[in-house]
Amino acid sequence: MTKLEKNIKRVKKMDKDFYNKSSADSLGWTPEWFGCKEFDHELVKSVQNWQRKNSLKADGLVGPMTYRRIWTERESKISSYKPVSRSYSGNNKNIVHNGKFIPIEWQKVILWDEPEGFSANKGCYTDYSGQPDRKPTMFVNHWDVCLSSESCATVLNRRGISVHFLIDNDGTIFQMLDTQHKAWHAGIPRYEGGNEKGIGVEISNAYYPKYQDWYVKNGFGERPLQSHGYVHGKTLEPFLDFYPVQLDALKALWKAIHIGIGIPLAYPKDDQGNIKTGVHKDCERGKFHGFCNHYNFIKTKIDCAGLDLPALLEDVSKTPIYCADK
């Protein structure tokens, strides 16, 4: 190995150490999470080993994906999880757009300014207070790969990103942010349309079947297992699916958004008129009008594979007080 090659290798190692230290300062993790004491080459190797065991790219860097995965794994090992007893004040529930209430036919709704609510930190979204109505045109579905909405809210704020809504394991809808503001949840390197024109929800679901025991142990019951998730031209390995109550909450939220904001009950289609299970150009560029999934924006995302948008949107269209698309 030449002197230049040795220097390049040393710089790359130093860069990884620096990256991990910066990541830890930002996200709040420590080398002990990976069985190490310092930000050094041993930590990089330990991270790589952990990444390989969890089918992640073994680059030794604790980026957003690695952080989210190890956060959830650590959460699952908490033996004394205490289910939350929530209070839902009033009979008339609402969500908020541009400071105005929009009725929603769902009793389990908690806003960011209520005692049990979660809010997006300042600096994690674009504040459009006092600006003309943002007029969102699309709604983007995500799953959070976390064990609860509380955990998801923590991860989002630590990562410096945001989403408007969370749906917890029991079907509680949390609004973290007025939908007038631009949340940072569906942007991609070339386009910002998903953020600029979108409203986003993170549906709680740890995804990996190894967490099924955690849900049962903590009183939520078994999650359905999704074995037909198809995205970007391939069928995924079986994974945990959403609880029925979460899908009911999602439909109630879609209906409120449709009636209150005017997003049409449409979904991305391929050339044959079927649901698009990959990147959709109009979603990618912020030109789509309707309800879509995160995978419609970029090939590296698979959420929410298996979510039957056509059937669920059909259910919404048949419910009472249906408002026809304008």
As a whole number of angstroms, the longest Cα–Cα distance in the chain is: 74
Would you state the pLDDT for residue 80?
Answer: 52
Helix (H, G, I), strand (E, B) or coil at 271: coil
Alpha-carbon gap, residue 302 to 287, rounded angstroms: 21
Using alpha carbons only, how large is the chain's radius of gyration in Å? Answer: 21
Element (H, E) at 140: strand 138-143
* Domain range enclosing 7: 3-76
What is the number of structural domains in the chain?
A: 2
> Which residue, chain included where needed, has tokens 């609402």?
94
Would you state the pLDDT for residue 319?
Answer: 82
Residue 150 lies in a domain: yes
Residues 6+ apart with CB under 8 A from 326: 262
pLDDT tens profile 232-246: 999 999 999 999 999
Q: Are residues 108 and 153 both part of a single domain?
A: yes
Q: Is the pLDDT assigned to residue 1 strictly greater than 50? A: no
Alpha-carbon gap, residue 114 to 137, rounded angstroms: 27
pLDDT tens profile 140-174: 999 999 999 999 999 999 999 999 999 999 999 99
Q: Residue 175 is encoded by which pair of tokens?
A: 């609004």
Q: Is the pLDDT assigned to residue 5 strictly greater than 70? A: no
Alpha-carbon gap, residue 176 to 121, rounded angstroms: 9
Output the domain CATH number for residue 48. 1.10.101
Residue 261 lies in a domain: yes
Q: Are residues 128 and 231 both part of a single domain?
A: yes
β-sheet bridge partners, residue 199: 139
Of residues 318 and 309, the one with the higher pLDDT is 309
Task: State the DSSP code for 276.
Answer: P
Element (H, E) at 226: strand 225-226
Q: Are residues 301 and 167 both part of a single domain?
A: yes
Q: Are 236 and 307 in contact (CB under 8 A)?
A: no
Q: Is the pLDDT assigned to residue 83 strictly greater than 90? A: no
Output the domain CATH number for residue 238. 3.40.80.10
Alpha-carbon gap, residue 178 to 161, rounded angstroms: 15
Q: Are residues 67 and 137 both part of a single domain?
A: no
